[in-house]
């Protein structure tokens, strides 16, 4: 798999910091479909949408949104980011994403996670005391659903399946990634299962996450998985513009508003003053924020550290104007992606030669 560059989005419904107007869900969803089409046309590799169950987010059903994107794109991969598997039904998740995969010609993916937002658990009748066990059990079922049909399966928190016919079936093995936020037990589980790892780095210095990637690969190797199959995606916020100051000036007000209004649980917003935002844009910071060259430099620096396979940028947290988002997508596709792919291909070749 060549190095991939993509975008993920949560579809926030954040009041505009200038006008105070909150976007309506319908137009916001249509903006996401337009962004996916633009990313496809720009030559990016992945577009992903997250799942939330609150009035300040537009996407509660990623598969439905991805199906709309499938009909408006040709080649880009379409993924959740994430599917909150612990509060969902793996059978329905599999059916929905198998349907998107068939509609899109084999472009759907699932990024399954426990979820840092927990409002979906009481909504769907789950006890938060079962938070960890729900995810482990349902991930097991989801993976079994990929492997066999009809299926017989038994767990403790979901009704058993007995010779159940689960359809439709995709024409290939549906990709399933595991999303983690830096919990050692989570990265070890992904490694032992041999599943691709989607690592969220949403603040601080990115170098502190290197031990988690090492732990993941170590767990995978100890479980007997081919190292080449242990894929890693790094997922972080960002925004790209013609220059550094423009990137800061355009995106910071919207990012700050979103960080306060939507970050984690309602009533627990996190301040993001400009000096802190700019600190995240420095070479050691987590955000991919600045000019095309700055974003290129940080991706390459992270690649030398992580040797990852995919970079996903959360493009403009908050209600960044659509025209600015589309300009950033074009820059990522025309100026960032070609250079990154060429440089990483060269680094990968030199690394392989050095170890041969």
| Residue 264 banded pLDDT, cuts 50, 70, 90 | low
Q: How far is CA 195 from the centre of its chain?
A: 15
Which pLDDT score is estimated for 157?
A: 95
Does 261 have pLDDT greater than 90?
Answer: no
Does 147 have pLDDT greater than 70?
Answer: yes
Which pLDDT score is estimated for 249?
A: 97
Lowest mean pLDDT among 9-18, 25-34, 262-271: 262-271
Number of neighbours of residue 48 by Cβ within 10 angstroms? 26
Beta bridge partners of 112: 83, 178
Of 257, 246, 337, nearest to 296 by C-alpha is 337
Residue whose structure tokens are 């492997």: 147
pLDDT digits (tens, 9 = 90+) for 91-144: 999 999 999 999 999 999 999 999 878 889 999 999 999 999 999 999 999 999
DSSP state of 74: S
For residues 273 and 281, what is the distance between their CA atoms, to the nearest angstrom? 13
Question: DSSP readout, 156-202?
Answer: SSS--EEEE---PPPSSPPPEEEEESS-HHHHHHHHHHT--EEEE--
Helix, strand, coil abundance in the chain, percent, nearest 5: 50, 15, 35
Q: Which residue has better confidence, 305 or 356?
A: 305
Does 242 have pLDDT greater than 50?
Answer: yes
Which pLDDT score is estimated for 173?
A: 97
Beta bridge partners of 241: 291
For residues 178 and 317, what is the distance between their CA atoms, to the nearest angstrom? 22
Judge contact between 110 and 170, C-beta under 8 A. no
Across the chain, what does the average pLDDT equal? 95
Residue whose structure tokens are 């987590």: 286
CATH of domain 4-355: 3.20.20.30
| Residue 356 banded pLDDT, cuts 50, 70, 90 | very low
Residue 345 in tokens: 């291909």
Residue whose structure tokens are 């032992």: 192
Of 206, 45, 183, 17, nearest to 116 by C-alpha is 183
Which pLDDT score is estimated for 349?
A: 82
Residue 2 in tokens: 């060549």
Average pLDDT over residues 156-182: 96
Of 277, 309, 302, nearest to 290 by C-alpha is 277
Q: How far is CA 95 from the centre of its chain?
A: 20
For residues 218 and 223, what is the distance between their CA atoms, to the nearest angstrom? 9
Does 233 have pLDDT greater than 90?
Answer: yes
Number of neighbours of residue 43 by Cβ within 10 angstroms? 15
Contacts of 349 (CB under 8 A, 6+ apart): none
Which pLDDT score is estimated for 228?
A: 86
Q: How far is CA 178 from CA 91, 137, 188, 244, 286, in A?
A: 17, 14, 11, 33, 20
Average pLDDT over residues 71-87: 97
3-state secondary structure at position 253: helix
Does 350 have pLDDT greater than 90?
Answer: no
Beta bridge partners of 48: 8, 79
Residue 87 in tokens: 């509060």
Average pLDDT over residues 50-71: 96
The overall longest dimension of the chain from CA atoms, in Å, is 60
Pairing between β-strand 151-153 and β-strand 161-164 as defined by DSSP bridges: antiparallel
Which pLDDT score is estimated for 355?
A: 42
């Amino acid at each position: 798999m060549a190095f991939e560059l993509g975008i993920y989005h949560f579809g926030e419904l954040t009041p505009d910091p200038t006008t105070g107007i909150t976007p309506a869900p319908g137009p916001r969803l249509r903006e996401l479909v337009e962004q996916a089409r633009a990313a496809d046309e720009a030559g990016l590799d992945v577009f992903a949408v997250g799942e939330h169950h609150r009035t300040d987010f537009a996407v509660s059903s990623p598969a439905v949104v991805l199906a709309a994107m499938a009909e408006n794109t040709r080649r880009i991969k379409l993924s959740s980011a994430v599917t909150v598997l612990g509060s969902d039904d793996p059978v329905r998740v599999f059916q929905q994403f198998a349907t998107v995969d068939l509609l899109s010609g084999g472009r759907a993916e699932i990024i399954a996670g426990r979820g840092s937002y927990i409002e979906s658990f009481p909504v769907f009748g789950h006890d938060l005391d079962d938070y960890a066990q729900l995810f482990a059990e349902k991930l097991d079922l989801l993976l079994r659903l990929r492997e066999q049909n009809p299926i017989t399966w038994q767990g403790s928190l979901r009704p058993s399946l007995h010779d159940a016919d689960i359809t439709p079936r995709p024409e290939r093995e549906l990709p399933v990634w595991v999303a983690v936020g830096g919990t050692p037990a989570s990265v070890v589980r992904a490694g032992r299962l041999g599943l691709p790892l989607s690592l969220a780095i949403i603040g601080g210095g990115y170098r502190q996450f290197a031990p988690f990637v090492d732990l993941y690969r170590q767990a995978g190797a100890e479980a007997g998985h081919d190292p080449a199959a242990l894929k890693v995606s790094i997922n972080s916020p960002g925004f790209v513009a013609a220059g550094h100051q423009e990137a800061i000036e355009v995106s910071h007000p919207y990012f700050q508003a979103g960080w306060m209004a939507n970050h984690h649980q309602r009533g627990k917003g996190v301040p993001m003053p400009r000096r802190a935002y700019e600190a995240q844009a420095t070479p050691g910071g987590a955000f991919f924020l600045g000019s095309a060259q700055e974003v290129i430099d940080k991706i390459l620096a992270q690649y030398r550290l992580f040797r990852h396979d995919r970079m996903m940028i959360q493009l403009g947290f908050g209600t960044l104007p659509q025209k600015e988002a589309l300009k950033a997508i074009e820059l990522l596709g025309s100026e960032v992606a070609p250079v990154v792919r060429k440089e990483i291909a060269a680094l990968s070749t030199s690394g392989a030669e050095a170890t041969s």
